[in-house]
Amino acid sequence: MAWMALFFIVPFYSVAAVAFGQVDPIRQSAVPEWNPRYWDFTLFTDVMHRVVNGDLGTVFIRTALYVVLAVAGCVVVGYPVAYFVSREAGKWRAALLVLMILPYWVSYLMRMLAWVNLLQPQGWMAQLLSHLPAGNRNWLSGQPITVVFGLVYGYVPFFILPLYATLDRIDGRLLEAARDLGATSRQAFWRVTLPLSRQGLMAACVITALPMVGDYYTNNLLSASPRTEMVGNQIVFFLQQTTQPQVGASLVLMLSAALLVVMAGYLVSVNRAQKLVTR
Amino acid sequence: MKRKPRLLASFTALYVLWSMLPVAIAVLFSFNSGRSRSTWQGFSLRWYWGDPFSSVWHDDSLLRALRNSLVLAALTILVATPLGVGLALGLTRWRGKPARVANGILLLPLVTPELVVGTALFLVVTNSYSFLDLGRPAQLVGHVTFSLSYVVIVVRGRLLSIGPDLEEAARDLGASPFQAVRMVIVPLLTPAIFASAVLVFATSIDDFVASSLLSSGAGSETVPVKIYGSVRGGATPALNALATIMLSASMLALVVVFAIMRVMRRRQGDTNAGENSLKELASW
């Protein structure tokens, strides 16, 4: 436990200390302030202003947009697959399950490397796409669609597995009962399967959305252009390439606060749902 | 009667193809005989060791990345596994509010974006933990911090299925608390400990964010950091070869974990051990 305290709690605190700390007047570098009583919020509010109505605001909005689109993409791709494997796959089930788990264990960077190779101007996929109308462009430079596509490709395995676990637990007899009571298979899906899997669907969305928010490498690998920059890119930029890590630290704090709100909302809704079930 | 869900089946088949094919092509290109990562020019092992300058075997920076990844993963296993097992043992005994808080803290790294954890560690290492250097020590700390949660989850799951009865029996027969744990619980936990060690290995070699933020330049680059750094440049298929080597390591780890879990289930008399282990793998 001491390990977690030393390397998880304290570092978290230090983010706050740096964000609210002083700037060394001579070296212009950040000096963390450990005592909350002397915290200086000017820089933080400054960054806050830039987020609310300035250059950083667009980055936050863009991040939210990409993440929402990518999660939607995960739902569209992932739900049918998870549904099929859990309900209809029959004798193929074990094999398909292996194929669902495999990408989970392939290094993320390896999978991105694969797409960079395919989408390079000489790559097979880029060649294929160039036959389409408007398909002849540099797919690896500032194309939002490539970034969202990359996010979907990267995170969909993390989406399918938890959803599969939920769908798998749904009692097949409930569906039979619905059919016996005269529901068509479509009705049975919309009125039994989907409501019963809503918890798992939400969990899967949260599980994929959280890391996506902090993702900067997908973006850098597939686009590397300021036009598609996300919050993660900004944080890493301020942290590594400037002498203002405190700006990065402030951004981290805001991001965590936003995520905390989302998580809290999610937990409250789960709690409410569970109370409904047990009542 | 029921129709065959052709549409869904073909959609799933397409998904599998889509998820696997790009990686398969990347592996294929590691055997390309030309310098290109996107135009096929024939089969060769040139980029593994044939090429005297830029094959994985002869290029120092690639070889170093490989070595860094493996050493880091080994160290992470050595630190995280015993720590996690101890933590799991402690947490199952510990009751009340502090235990719940501890539990919550343990799960936090799983739901926090890695970037946030990485930034936090980066700032604390550069500002106040002067006993830690950027590079391997800091990377080790980062990897242990998030793999710890996995170890605890796996080991605790196993502990709960063992239950308190056996340990109490050992105590009744005169074992000290320490003896009871050492002679009864630890042997029963061995498969779970192995499985979690392999899991730690796999997460460590795949990790990019922590390795990258906490590295200290070229000397401590791991394979994912190396890939990230050179993929957009004019890198040769040696990069694919490097990635393929790591891929084989992860796949090997997956097979080992699966085998261990199947044995564990067989011993418990599970008749459908194979599929149930798969399901458990899927639930992490």
* Residue-wise DSSP of B93-153: H--SHHHHHHHHHHHHHHHS-HHHHHHHHHHHHHHT-TTS-TTHHHHHHHHHHHHHHHHHH
Quote the pLDDT of residue A43: 64
Helix (H) or strand (E) run with residue A197 in it = none
Q: From CA A57, how far away is CA A51, in angstroms rounded?
A: 4
DSSP string, B32-76: BSSS-SSS---B--IIIIISTTTSTTT-HHHHHHHHHHHHHHHHH
Task: Out of A128-137, B74-83, B199-208, pick the least confident.
Answer: A128-137
Evaluate if residue B3 carries a pLDDT over 80. Answer: no
**Which pLDDT score, from 0 to 100, does residue B259 have?**
85
Q: Which two tokens stand for residue A97?
A: 């399950």
Interface test with B, best of A14, A27, A184 (most B CBs within 10 A): A14
DSSP class of residue A171 equals -
pLDDT of residue A27: 42
* pLDDT at residue A9 in the model: 58
Going by C-alpha positions, the residue among B242, B280, B261 that lies closest to residue B59 is B242
Q: Confirm whether B270 is domain-assigned.
A: no
Instruction: Report B:60-119 residues touching A (Cβ under 8 A).
Output: 83, 87, 90, 102, 105-106, 108-109, 111-117, 119
Confidence of residue A24 (pLDDT cuts 50, 70, 90): very low
Mean pLDDT is lowest, of A8-12, A150-154, A214-218, B261-265, for A8-12
pLDDT band at A115 (very low <50, low <70, confident <90, very high): confident
B232 close to A (CB below 8 A): yes
Identify which of A14, A111, A124 has the shortest CB distance to residue B23.
A111
With 70 as the cut, is the pLDDT of residue B20 above it? Answer: yes
List the single residue in A with minimal CA-CA distance to B273: A94
Domain count, chain B: 1
How high is the pLDDT of residue A18? 58
| Pairwise CA distance, residues B162 & B179, whole Å | 17
Report if residue B131 sits inside a domain. Answer: yes
Nearest CA in chain B to A118: B38
| Chains A & B: contacts with CB separation below 8 Å | 224
> Is B278–A97 a contact, with Cβ atoms under 8 angstroms apart?
yes
Q: Give the pLDDT score at B209.
A: 81
Does a structural domain hold residue B28?
Answer: no
The predicted structure's pLDDT at residue B1: 39
Q: Kindly report, residue by residue over B115-129, the tens digit of the pLDDT.
A: 877 777 777 777 655
For the segment B244-259, the average pLDDT, to the nearest whole number, is 86
Tell whether B268 is within 8 A of chain A (Cβ): no
Tell how far CA B272 is from the center of its chain.
Answer: 26
Q: Give me the residues of B, 172-231, that contact A with CB < 8 A.
A: 202, 205-206, 208-209, 212-213, 223-224, 227-228, 231
Contact A221/B232, CB-based, under 8 Å?
yes
Q: What is the pLDDT of residue A28?
A: 43
In a domain, B204, yes or no: yes
Lowest mean pLDDT among A235-239, A243-247, B205-209, B234-238: A243-247
Residues 134-173 on A with a CB inside 8 Å of B are 140, 153, 156-157, 161-162, 164-165, 168
Please identify which residue in the block is written with the tokens 């399950």: A97
Report yes or no: A35 at the B interface, CB cutoff 8 Å.
Answer: no
Is residue B82, in this structure, part of any structural domain at all? yes
The predicted structure's pLDDT at residue A15 = 58
Q: Mean pLDDT for chain B?
A: 78
Q: How confident is the model at residue A25 (pLDDT cuts 50, 70, 90)?
A: very low
B113–chain A nearest CA distance, Å: 5
H or E element, residue B233: none
Element (H, E) at A143: none
A residues 47-106 closer than 8 Å to B (CB): 77, 80-81, 83-85, 88-89, 93-94, 96-103, 105-106
CATH number reported for the structural domain that contains residue B69 in this entry: 1.10.3720.10
Mean pLDDT of B20-39: 79
Q: ipTM exceeding 0.85?
A: no
Quick check: A97 and B83 CB within 8 A?
A: no
Calculate mean pLDDT across residues B163-191.
82
* Distance in Å, alpha carbon of A278 to nearest chain B alpha carbon: 22
Q: What is the mean pLDDT of chain A?
A: 75
Reduced to 3 states (helix: H, G, I; strand: E, B; else coil), residue A23 is strand
Does residue B203 sit within a domain? yes
Per-residue model confidence as pLDDT tens digits over A56-104? 777 888 888 888 999 999 999 888 888 888 887 777 888 888 888 888 7
Inter-chain residue contact A113 with B12, CB threshold 8 Å:
no
Residues A3, B112: C-beta atoms closer than 8 Å: no
Among A66-70, A176-180, B236-240, which is the least confidently predicted range?
B236-240
H-type helices in chain A, by residue range?
A: 2-4, 10-19, 42-53, 55-83, 93-105, 108-119, 124-129, 144-169, 172-180, 185-188, 194-196, 198-213, 217-222, 231-236, 245-278
* pLDDT > 90: percent of chain B: 0
Of A8-17, A27-36, A176-185, the range with the lowest mean pLDDT is A27-36
Return the sign of the alpha-carbon dihedral for residues A89, A98, B153, A68. Answer: negative
User: Mean per-residue pLDDT for B199-205?
Assistant: 86
Radius of gyration of the CA atoms of chain B, in A: 23
What is the distance in angstroms between the Cα of A84 and the nearest Cα belonging to chain B? Answer: 6
Angle, vertex CA A268, rays to CA A265 and CA A274, nearest 5: 140
Express each pLDDT in B37-68 by its tens digit.
777 777 777 777 776 667 777 777 788 888 88
Q: What is the pLDDT of residues B128-138, one digit of tens each?
A: 555 566 777 77
Bridge pairing between strands A22-23 and A30-31: antiparallel
Of A26-40, A165-179, B108-122, B189-203, the poorest mean pLDDT is in A26-40
Q: Do A7 and B213 touch (CB under 8 A)?
A: no
Q: Which two tokens stand for residue B275?
A: 């599929």
**Entry pTM:** 0.79
A170: Cβ contacts below 8 Å, ≥ 6 apart: A86, A193, A196, A197
Task: Find the angle CA(A114)-CA(A65)-CA(A113) to the nearest 5 degrees.
Answer: 10
- Residue B183: predicted pLDDT: 81
Distance, CA of A15 to CA of B246 (rounded, Å)? 33
Instruction: Give the architecture (CATH level 2) of A60-230.
Output: Orthogonal Bundle (1.10)
The residue-averaged pLDDT of B93-110 equals: 69
Residues from chain B that touch A93, judged by Cβ atoms under 8 A, are 275
Q: Which residues of B touch A99 (CB under 8 A)?
A: 16, 19-20
Residue of A110, A221, A252 with shortest CB distance to B246: A110
Mean predicted confidence (pLDDT) in A198-226: 82
Residue B40 maps to a domain: no
Position of tokens 């969909």?
A: A156
What pLDDT is recorded for position B280?
67
How far does the CA of residue B69 sit from the closest CA of chain A (Å)? 13
Domain that holds residue B144: 52-246
Give the model's pLDDT for residue A14.
Answer: 56
Q: What is the pLDDT of residue B208?
A: 84
What was the pLDDT predicted at A141? Answer: 72
**What pLDDT, in 10s, does the model give residues B129-176?**
555 667 777 788 888 887 888 888 888 888 887 777 888 888 888 888
What is the pLDDT, as a whole number, of residue A222? Answer: 80
Q: Tell me which residue of A104, A162, A3 sits closest to B85, measured CA to CA.
A: A3
Which of A9, A81, A210 has the CB atom closest to B113's CB atom? Answer: A210
Which burial class, exposed, middle or buried, applies to A116 when counting CB atoms under 10 A from its CB (0-12, 13-18, 19+)?
Answer: buried
Most confident of A75-84, A130-139, B1-10: A75-84
Q: Which two tokens stand for residue B86?
A: 């101890």
Interface contact flag, A161 B282, Cβ < 8 Å:
yes
On the question of pLDDT at A34 being above 60, the answer is no
Domain membership flag for residue B32: no
Cα–Cα distance measured from residue B86 to residue B135, given in angstroms and rounded to the nearest whole number = 27
- A-contacting residues in B 12-71 (Cβ below 8 Å): 12, 15-16, 18-20, 22-23, 25-26, 29, 36-39
Residue B266 pLDDT exceeds 80: no
Q: Tokens representing B3?
A: 């129709």
